[in-house]
Amino acid sequence: MNFYNEMYDANGGVREHYKGYEAWLKATPGERIERKRAEADLAFHRVGITFAVYGEEAGKERLIPFDVIPRIIPSAEWKGMQKGLRQRVTALNMFLRDVYHDQEILKAGKVPAEQVLNNAQYRPVMQGVDLPGDIYAHIAGVDIVRAGAGECYVLEDNLRVPSGVSYMLEDRKMMMRLFPELFARHKVAPVQHYPDMLLEKLRAVAPTGVSDPTVVVLTPGAYNSAYFEHTFLAQQMGVELVEGRDLFVQDEVVYMRTTQGPQRVDVIYRRIDDDFMDPLAFRPDSALGVPGILKAYQAGNVTLSNAIGTGVADDKSIYPYVPEMIRFYLGEEPILNNVPTYMCRKADDLKYVLAHLAELVVKEVHGAGGYGMLVGPASTKEQIENFRQLLIAKPEGYIAQPTLALSNCPTFVEEGIAPRHLDLRPFVLSSGKCVDMAPGGLTRVALTKGSLVVNSSQGGGTKDTWVLED
């Protein structure tokens, strides 16, 4: 397979937007870069920018490898992406509003009703609940990949609790600390205002009538894989980081327990899945959530961000219908491409998928984090046969997509600089008044040669992402 290279064109020439960086890389002694890489590792460790990996020794933390070669996006291309992201996230929020109110899109037959209403991520408790600004996904982490000859595709919409934005910010900080001269030479669009933007959005969606809302970040606790990010965002926004046990509900109002007595909470940026939010409404065994919080939410006394029930819009079985949503709600043609998707619940699609397992990527409909997926071309016969059994047993649990020839970018690895595959996760913020994002996003890179899985839990690393201003 031929892969699109972010830095070099098909003839080996350096792409225009990488020329400055490439010249610097050539002129900089390898040992200096090596020294800087070691410095970065040390700093990340000391600062404790780590993540926990499930399945490994409890409480064990790893660094997410950081690569010093940035991923560069020219301004014009970013503008196009930005426009496409605004359009897509706007439509997704309208879809959620519609699903939990009049369900026009289902009545119009544009999205099969049973796919929505029987979806495990559909939350009947949200039916008829009005939310400030009609926004459900205040924060979306849309995964974009470049494939083929350079065209971009949206891979996933991530409307529940997308993570990674702290790495976007820390990578930039690290890059500026290690190589300040690069930033003197390039006009790199800044991203450090992201926490301010986030706080502004969260304040904007406070319950009606609250003029100076108390915002908190809700974390499952110190052993969660993204705990670093939770503390980071709370600190950067200057708000409290709370756990479920710090909150309680009285008369449908949420309070936090403080050293000076109970204090009312208005907006909760929650990093806990729906299922664990309220043991009285969802999983009764959840010790992470807050009993009674759903009632307070339904009464409009607190805003949850993201809303309960957003998963019904980023579910892989709903993903194929996003272009249809854009046409239905906005009357526009989608700017960003969807990846062609086979829905295994359809007999024809299943037949095709089973016949082409070795070429396809098969994903669990409700899966996330790179767990429970099959990358056909990279799998052994045995793995493929195992997956075949899974598919036959439960076809509705899977979708399949062609294996995209993900673009790659020069990356430092053991044997020197070599191309590695990557994706991009811009973080899109919505408040009802506007849709904003920090330029670029988080670039994740698969460090294993040939691997197409960029998730940090599967050995992925990150790069600083530069949007070059004109």
235 binds other proteins (CB under 8 A): yes
Nearest to 145 by CA among 394, 361, 444, 427: 444
Count of positions (residues) in the chain:
470
Interacting stretch for other proteins, rule CB under 8 A, among 43-51, 86-94, 117-125, 383-391? 43-51
Nearest to 293 by CA among 309, 306, 304: 304
245 binds other proteins (CB under 8 A): yes
Interacting stretch for other proteins, rule CB under 8 A, among 135-143, 151-159, 232-240, 341-349? 232-240
Q: Decide: helix, strand or coil at residue 272.
A: coil
How many CB atoms are closer than 10 A to CB 91?
22
260 binds other proteins (CB under 8 A): yes
57 binds other proteins (CB under 8 A): no
194 binds other proteins (CB under 8 A): no
Nearest to 304 by CA among 272, 326, 328: 272
- How many residues bind to other proteins according to rule CB under 8 A? 26
Q: How far is the CB of 261 from other proteins (least distance, A)?
A: 7
Among 191, 198, 242, 437, binds other proteins (CB under 8 A): 242
Among 234, 404, 424, 445, binds other proteins (CB under 8 A): 234
Closer Cβ to other proteins, 72 or 241, answer by number: 241
240 binds other proteins (CB under 8 A): yes
Closer Cβ to other proteins, 241 or 325, answer by number: 241
Interacting stretch for other proteins, rule CB under 8 A, among 8-16, 41-49, 375-383, 397-405? 41-49
Among 2, 208, 259, 389, binds other proteins (CB under 8 A): 259
Contact 270, 218 (CB under 8 A): yes
Helix intervals (H) in 7-127: 19-27, 30-47, 75-99, 104-107, 113-117
Nearest to 68 by CA among 178, 168, 167: 178
Interacting stretch for other proteins, rule CB under 8 A, among 23-31, 171-179, 227-235, 384-392? 227-235
β-pair partners for 286: none
Q: How far is the CB of 55 from other proteins (least distance, A)?
A: 21
Distance (Å, whole) CA 183 – CA 70: 12
Nearest to 188 by CA among 304, 18, 309: 18
22 binds other proteins (CB under 8 A): no
299 binds other proteins (CB under 8 A): no
Among 3, 24, 183, 248, binds other proteins (CB under 8 A): 248
Interacting stretch for other proteins, rule CB under 8 A, among 260-268, 296-304, 344-352, 413-421? 260-268
351 binds other proteins (CB under 8 A): no
**8-state DSSP, 290:** -
Tokens of 407: 């673009």
Distance (Å, whole) CA 398 – CA 319: 12
**Distance set, CA 355 to CA 312, 363, 384, 399, 461 (Å):** 29, 16, 11, 14, 33
Angle, helix 75-99 to helix 322-330, in steps of 10 degrees: 80
Among 256, 268, 293, 454, binds other proteins (CB under 8 A): 256
* Contact residues for other proteins, defined by CB under 8 A: 45-48, 221-222, 231-232, 234-235, 240-243, 245-246, 248, 250, 255-262
